[in-house]
Amino acid sequence: MRTLEDNGLMKTQAFIDGCFVGSADTPVTDPASGAVIAHVPNLGADAATQAVEAASRAFRPWAAKTAKERSATLRRWFELIVAARSDLATILTSEQGKPFAEALGEIDYAASYVEFYAEEAKRIAGEILPSHRPDARILVQRQPLGVVAAITPWNFPAAMITRKVAPALAAGCTVVVKPAPETPLTALALAELARRADFPAGTFNVVTGDAVAIGGVLTSHPAVRLVGFTGSTPTGKLLMRQAASTVKRVALELGGNAPFIVFDDADIDTAVEGAMASKFRNSGQTCVCTNRIYVQSAVHDVFVARLTERVKQLRVGCGFDDGVVQGPLISERAVAKVEAHIADALGKGAEIAAGGKRHALGGTFFEPTVITGAASDMLLAQDETFGPLAPVFRFETEAEVLQAANATETGLAAYFFTRDSARVFRMMERLEFGMVGINTGLISTELAPFGGVKESGNSREGSHHGILEFTELKYACIGGI
Ligand code: ADP
């Protein structure tokens, strides 16, 4: 691994009740080389229980602090993250594979949630409502929920943590994080910075190890009041079922199957830029990545030609090498899925315009791929590929493409490109997705509510909406006035 300016950020123990604990025995590998870069503890139910209990003890004192005090601690954490952005990005690229520039971008994005919720901590207000009786008053207060569990994926090892943890801590909750087994080191570095920011012991815990055992505790322990999860739809459904036994709140951000629609009145260069940004970021491994590109007949060939030209220029390689914009995929399983989607599509009549196979670099590197002649009966239309495969579907009418775009159980992000303002409103209102990018392929920001509808999830992260998830309304009726 590349050397860090601050070696103290390379933590290889879990963080429970303010201490780094556990013996490092499970390997973490660099997906670019397959080399083992560190070991972290393989903890289970006992450690998860200890973390929940520590978080439970820390909850009342943390919630009792003034919003301004909590805000100041979050602000210190934000500043420490920004100061360590280069080291954090180095750790992130080493365990996740994304190009270093993208990793820096993720650290800035992750930090932006901490900054935003440090500010937002001070703006959780209650209300006094008109009363049903002249001698009574109705007071409504927002109180923190309690202990929050956060189970996070490997594709954004930093941002998926801060997006949950920062609003929870700002609201007065305490947190237990279970990071993805592929990317625990970024989580532990964030924990070290939280320690330096002086979060009290137990407010922020990170438990690495057995997902099923740790997840079992996080979804059943009575002290946990919310389970926040970003990951696959099957795992989200499982956690939701498990959390039902103690009626926990469940905040899910699950898979997508994003349509990307180019109408014949679109600016084609803008649409191609949008497709590149939304399809190939993180080598196609984000839940808002374009999965299906629909192009109207009149502009189909010109769009495909320009997209293909751009895709062929993408430089694939190790995330630390200059000019690389496409890193390796996270695992062999991820590569196998892309291959299966391509084979299925070719078998059903699609054609390759660029790429199409494993990259000459070997390992889990894959050629950025464009295929044409995609159709709704192909696997790639029904399932999220989560890799660098851009399938292009041809369409004729707005009604037809709207129906095709909505024909999915998921509803996270959708994109469309047009210069017709009436169509902007029609499409925006009728697309069954939680987020819609119009004439842009980049929509993520801490300032907006991120989340999906249908099987893509049930909550929103970011903006002032994202903090309310971590609060409970309490109504008090004051009589005898
Ligand atoms: P992926 O297949 O992309 O890794 P997952 O949904 O399996 O997606 O993983 C997202 C997160 O959920 C990871 O932190 C993973 O360890 C965790 N996870 C997977 N299965 C379980 C489970 N049964 N209980 C708790 N967490 C789980």
Distances (CA, A) of 379 to 149, 335, 374, 385, 408: 34, 15, 10, 9, 12
Helices (H) and strands (E) in the chain, counts: 15, 21
Residue 284 per-residue DSSP state:
G
Closest C-alpha to 122, from 191, 75, 89, 83: 75
123 φ, ψ to 5°?
A: -120, 25
| Axis-axis angle for helices 85-96, 184-196 (nearest 10) | 160
217 with 43: CB under 8 angstroms? Answer: no
Determine if ligand 1 sits within 6 Å of the CB of residue 157: no
Pocket test for ligand 1, best of 95, 151, 241 (most atoms within 8 A of CB): 151
* pLDDT of amino acid 25: 93
Determine if ligand 1 sits within 6 Å of the CB of residue 183: no
Cα separation of 202 and 40, whole Å?
Answer: 20
Determine if ligand 1 sits within 6 Å of the CB of residue 277: no
Instruction: Provide the 10 A C-beta neighbour count for residue 245.
Output: 10
* pLDDT of amino acid 164: 98
Q: Which atom in ligand 1 lies closest to the alpha carbon of residue 216?
A: 24
Give the burial string for 382-408 (b: 16+ CB within 10 Å, else e): bbbbbbbbbbbbebeebeebbebbeeb
* pLDDT of amino acid 471: 98
Cα separation of 62 and 334, whole Å?
Answer: 41
Determine if ligand 1 sits within 6 Å of the CB of residue 181: yes
Closest C-alpha to 196, from 4, 10, 18: 18
Q: Is 141 exposed, middle or buried (CB count within 10 Å of its CB: 0-12, 13-18, 19+)?
A: middle
Residue 240 per-residue DSSP state:
H
Extract the residue ranges of the chain whose pLDDT is less than 50.
none
What is the residue whose two structure tokens read 């892309």? 338
Instruction: Provide the 10 A C-beta neighbour count for residue 2.
Output: 11
476 with 254: CB under 8 angstroms? Answer: no
Residue 368, both tokens: 């950025």
Q: How far is the CA of 171 from the centre of ligand 1 (A)?
A: 26
Residue 474, both tokens: 């309490």
Q: How far is the CA of 180 from the centre of ligand 1 (A)?
A: 7
What is the residue whose two structure tokens read 């999906």? 452
Give the burial string for 272-300 (b: 16+ CB within 10 Å, else e): bbbbbbbbbbbbbbbbbbbbbbbbbeebb
Closest C-alpha to 369, from 337, 404, 394: 337
Let me know if 461 is a catalytic residue: no
Cα separation of 337 and 339, whole Å?
Answer: 5
CA triplet 106, 112, 113: central angle to 5 degrees?
100
The side-by-side arrangement of strands in the sheet containing 351-354 is: 351-354, 369-372, 389-395, 290-296, 258-262, 413-417, 435-438
Phi-psi region at 480: left, alpha or beta (left = phi > 0; alpha = psi -120 to 50) = left
Distances (CA, A) of 386 to 263, 367, 382, 437: 25, 14, 12, 19
Instruction: Provide the 10 A C-beta neighbour count for residue 138.
Output: 15
* pLDDT of amino acid 339: 98
249 with 469: CB under 8 angstroms? Answer: yes
Catalytic-role residue among 53, 106, 115, 253: 253
Residue 278 per-residue DSSP state:
H
203 with 55: CB under 8 angstroms? Answer: yes
Determine if ligand 1 sits within 6 Å of the CB of residue 152: yes
255 with 412: CB under 8 angstroms? Answer: yes
Q: How far is the CA of 182 from the centre of ligand 1 (A)?
A: 10
Residue 326 per-residue DSSP state:
B
For atom 15 of ligand 1, the residue with the nearest CA is: 180
Q: Which atom in ligand 1 lies closest to the alpha carbon of residue 178?
A: 14
